[in-house]
Structure 1
C-alpha cells in the first residue's frame, strides 16, 4: 500500500499478473488486466490533492499449491481530498489470490475488498482543522514550529 499512497504506479503494476482482476468496493468497481487496474488507480488517486494512507494488517496467507496462494487482509484507510475539502475514512477486508511466476516472484492475480464501513466528512465543518504537511505540497515537512 506504500506504493499506492506514494503514487508509485509503475511499481504497483509490477505486483500484478498480466491477466489480474481487481474488484474494489464489493465489486462495484471491477477491472481486468494489469493495465486497466493501474489505469484506474492513476485516474482516481494520482492528483497531488488526493492524500491517502492505507494500512493492511492481520494477514492470513494460505499456500494452496506450489505456485498458488490466497490471502485475507484487514485494511483501514483515510483519504484527504483537499480539492474537494473532504475526508473519507473506512475499513475493509481484502481477499487476494497470488501466483508464483517462472522468475520465482509472487504476484497478485486477483484482488478486491468489501467495506465494513465508509464515511465521509466535509473538512470545512471541523473547527480549526487545517492540513500542515503533505508529501507533495510541503515535501513531507510539517508547517508546525517545534
Structure 2
C-alpha cells in the first residue's frame, strides 16, 4: 500500500474509532507527543458546561493528555464524523501533511445537537510501518447548534 493510501486509512480509523468510542484503538492513531489544536474549533455547546468551553479553546500536548480531555467530554455523546477530499503531501519517507474537509454531528445526552463543518489540518509521522497523526488542528467554517428539550426548558424558565 502506498503512503497516501495508508494515511487515508489512518483518517478513516480516526472517524470510526471516535464514533464507536474505541478509546484504546483511537489512542494508537497518535504519536506520543501529538499536538491537538482546538483553538479554532468553535464555541462551547449550550447546556454542556465549562468542559466544552475548555475543549473548544485548547491546545493539548501529548496523546494521553488529549484522551484525558476527550473521553469525559465526548464519551457519552453520540458522534458521527465524516472526512472528505484529502489533500495529502508526502514530504519525506517519514513525514507528510494533509488537509481534510470534515463534517460532524454530535448529539449530547440532553438532546442538544451540533452539526459542524470545517477542516482538519494535520501532520503525520511514519513510525516503523505505521503512519500516525503528529499534529492536528480543527478549524470550523460553520457550526449549527440546536438546543435539546432540557436546555430549551431551562432557557424558557429563566
Q: TM-score, normalised by structure 2?
A: 0.72
Q: How does 1:50-129 map to 2 (within 5 A)?
A: 50-81=77-108, 83-101=109-127, 103-124=128-149
- The count of corresponding residues between Structure 1 and Structure 2 is 121
- C-alpha contact (below 8 Å) 1:25/1:115 kept by paired residues: no
CA distance in 2, matches of 1:52, 1:112: 18
* Higher alpha-carbon Rg: 1
**Which stretches in structure 1 are left out of the alignment for 5+ residues?**
126-146
**Which stretches in structure 2 are left out of the alignment for 5+ residues?**
1-14, 42-56, 151-158
CA distance in 1, matches of 2:68, 2:39: 17
Partner of 2:16: 2
CA distance in 2, matches of 1:89, 1:20: 26
Select the structure that is richer in helix: 2
Q: Deviations over 1:56-95 (max 9, x none)?
A: 01011100111100010000011111x3221111111000
**Aligned-pair RMSD on alpha carbons?**
1.5
- C-alpha contact (below 8 Å) 1:88/1:120 kept by paired residues: yes
Secondary structure at the aligned position of 1:93 is classed as strand
Q: TM-score, normalised by structure 1?
A: 0.78
CA distance in 2, matches of 1:14, 1:93: 22
